[in-house]
Structure formats: C-alpha cells, structure tokens
Amino acid sequence: MLRRLWWFGLLAGCAKGGWAEVSGTIGDVAFNEAKTVVHGGSYILIFDEKIDCLDLAWAEGSYQDGEAPSDLSFNALQFRTDDDAYTVGTFSVEGNGVVAAQGLLNTGDFYTERGRQGTVTIDEVAENDSTIVGSFSIEFSEGAVEGEFETEFCRNLH
C-alpha cells in the first residue's frame, strides 16, 4: 500500500507543471497566456499552448524563418544561456549577452523575433534542478513582453 502511495505522489509531483504570468506582444502577436513553462539544459521555454515535454527535442539556439522546427502550432518565448545551466542573477539579453531571448511564432509561417533589450532575472534554481523561478522584461524590434515564471524540468531540452 505504501509503495502505491509513493508512486502516486511521484506521478502527482511530475504532473504539477510550471506556470507563468505574461503580458505583451511578440511582433504583432499578443502573448498573454502561458500553458507550458519548462526548462532543461540551457533553455527556458514559455508556450501559449499545452505541449508535452516529449515533443520539445527540436529546441535550438537559432532558427531559420520559414522553416518550422515542429509541426505543432504555438507561440513561445525562449531564453537560452551560453552556460550549461542557469544560475541566480539578472542577465541582459542585449547584443552578445549571456542570455539570448527569442520569440518563436509558429501559427502559420514560422518566424522569430530576437529580444533586443531587457533582462531575465533568475531568483531561484532548485538544488535538484526541478524548477527555476524568475522574471523577465524583453523588448523586440516590434513589441515587448514581461512576466514572472516557475518552470518544470524537461529532460528533452538539451
């Protein structure tokens, strides 16, 4: 009986998921709802659609406009660090900063918007790498987004 309760607790913990409060636009696309918030390796991804971690192995540091990385329909905000993992601190996304921000728009023709100005603040990284807590304020050539997040670990992000 205890073993069954332990497995149930483990599964319930895995199903918790991340969350984010976001507001703004990426290009001319409204980005005001987060349904999937994950991290793994050097990536943090915030999606406006529910997407399973198993479907995220396509995440990369750069993308080609017009060539969708996935057949899933979504808009997303992606942060990528030059380091292997995130650490606590505030990081600029300007120029060749330690953290890069990209808007990924895949609801028709795929295209990206690069974050031009702003910061990502990491407030907490769980010891077991299960969650990252932080906030962001990013400006694109067109549009800006801001918000807070708590991620869930995704083993398919490298």
With a cut of 50, say whether residue 7 has pLDDT above it: no
pLDDT value at position 13? 38
Local confidence band at 133 (pLDDT 50, 70, 90 cut-offs)? very high
pLDDT value at position 29? 95
Q: Are 20 and 147 in contact (CB under 8 A)?
A: yes
pLDDT value at position 97? 86
Q: Please give the average per-residue pLDDT across 18-38, as a whole number.
A: 97
Q: Is 117 exposed, middle or buried (0-12, 13-18, 19+ CB in 10 A)?
A: middle
Q: What is the DSSP string of 25-79?
A: EETTEE----SEEEEETTEEEEESS---GGG-TT--S---TT--S-SS-EEEEEE
Q: Within 10 A of 64 (CB to CB), how many other CB atoms are there?
A: 11
Greatest pairwise CA separation for the chain in angstroms: 57
pTM for the structure as a whole: 0.88
83 compared with 92, residue with greater pLDDT: 92
Q: Please give the average per-residue pLDDT across 12-24, as a whole number.
A: 74
Burial 121-158 (b: 16+ CB within 10 A, else e): ebeebeeeeebbbbbbbbbbeebbbebebbbbbbeebe
36, amino acid identity: T
Local confidence band at 6 (pLDDT 50, 70, 90 cut-offs)? very low
Q: Within 10 A of 98 (CB to CB), how many other CB atoms are there?
A: 15
